[in-house]
A and B are shown apart, each in its own frame.
Chain A
Amino acid sequence: MSNMLEINNLHAGIGETQILNGLDLTVNSGEIHAIMGPNGSGKSTLAQVIAGHADYRVSAGTVSYKGEDLLEYEPEERARRGIFLGFQYPVEIPGVNNAYLLKAALNAKRRHNGLAEIDAFEFLQLARKKMSDLGMDPVFLNRGVNEGFSGGEKKRNEILQMAMLEPELAILDETDSGLDIDALKAVAAGVNALRDPARAIVLVTHYQRLLDYVEPDFVHVLSDGKIARSGDKSLALELEEKGYEWIREAAAG
Chain B
Amino acid sequence: MNTVVLNQALFEAAVATLPADQLAPVRNRAAVLFSNEGFPSTRDEDWKYTNMSAATTASNDWLSEYRTSATIDVNAQQNQATLQEISAQIDATWLIVRNGVVDSLQLQSLELQHGLTISTLADSLNLPDIAIDTALSAFNAALLEDGIHIRVDADLRIERPLGILLIDDPSLRTSQTRIVIDVGKNASLRVIEVARSAVDGNQFTNAVTQIDLAAGAQVDHLRLQDRGKEHIGTHRLIAEVQAEATFSHNAFDFGGALTRNDVIARIVGSGASVNLHGLYLGSGKQHIDNHTRVEHRVGPAVSKEIYRGILTGQARGVFNGQAIVFEGADGTDANQANHNLLLSDKAEIDTKPELEIYADDVKCSHGATVGQLDEKSLFYLRTRGLDVAEANHLLTRAFAAEILSSLVVEEAHEYVQKLLDARLAELLGDDST
B429 to chain A, nearest CB (A): 18
Instruction: Look across to chain B and name the residue whose beta carbon is closest to the beta carbon of A86.
Output: B383
**For the complex, is A74 an interface residue (Cβ under 8 Å from B)?**
yes
Q: Please report the C-alpha to C-alpha distance between residue A52 and residue B387 in the assembled complex, in whole angstroms.
A: 13
Query: Across the interface, which residues of A come within 8 angstroms of B400, CB to CB?
Result: 95
Nearest B residue (CB) for A48? B379
Chain A residues with CB under 8 Å of B386's CB are: 76, 101, 104-105, 108
Q: How far is A85 from B391 in the complex, measured between Cα atoms in Å?
A: 17
Given contacts A93-B377, A104-B390, A79 and B398 within 8 Å (CB-CB):
no
List residues of chain A with CB within 8 A of the CB of B380.
87, 90-91, 93
Those of A87-140 within 8 Å (CB) of chain B:
87, 90-91, 93-96, 100-101, 104-105, 108-109, 112
Q: In whole angstroms, what is the CA distance A54 to B297 when docked?
A: 54
Contact check: which of A76, A84, A94, A100 meets B382 at CB < 8 Å? A76
Q: Which residues of A contact B376 (CB under 8 A)?
A: 91
Q: In whole angstroms, what is the CA distance A180 to B45 when docked?
A: 59
Query: Given the complex of chains A and B, what is the CA–CA distance between A152 and B390 in angstroms?
Result: 28
- Is B384 part of the binding interface, using a Cβ–Cβ cutoff of 8 Å? yes
Query: Nearest B residue to A109 by beta-carbon distance?
Result: B385
Report the bound CA distance from A207 to B383 in whole Å. 26
Q: B61 on the interface (CB 8 Å rule)?
A: no
Select from chain A the residue with minimum beta-carbon distance to B390: A104
On whether A108 and B387 interact (CB within 8 A), knowing A74-B382, A76-B382, the answer reads yes
Q: Beta-carbon contacts of B362-400 to A below 8 Å, as 1s and 0s?
A: 000000000000101101111111111011001101111
| Min CB–CB distance A182 → chain B (angstroms) | 26
List 17 additional contacts besides A87-B380, A108-B384; criterion CB under 8 Å.
Answer: A76-B382, A76-B387, A91-B374, A91-B380, A93-B374, A93-B380, A95-B397, A96-B381, A96-B395, A100-B394, A101-B381, A104-B386, A105-B384, A105-B386, A108-B385, A108-B390, A109-B385
Q: Which 10 A-B pairs have the closest CB atoms?
A: A95-B398, A108-B385, A95-B401, A79-B385, A105-B384, A75-B382, A91-B380, A76-B382, A96-B398, A80-B385
- 27 A-B pairs with CB atoms under 8 Å apart are A52-B383, A53-B379, A74-B387, A75-B382, A75-B383, A76-B383, A76-B384, A78-B383, A79-B382, A79-B383, A79-B385, A87-B380, A91-B376, A91-B377, A93-B380, A93-B395, A94-B398, A95-B399, A96-B377, A101-B381, A101-B384, A101-B386, A104-B390, A105-B385, A108-B384, A108-B390, A109-B385
Give the interface of A toward B (CB within 8 A).
Answer: 51-54, 74-76, 78-80, 84-85, 87, 90-91, 93-96, 100-101, 104-105, 108-109, 112, 144, 161, 165
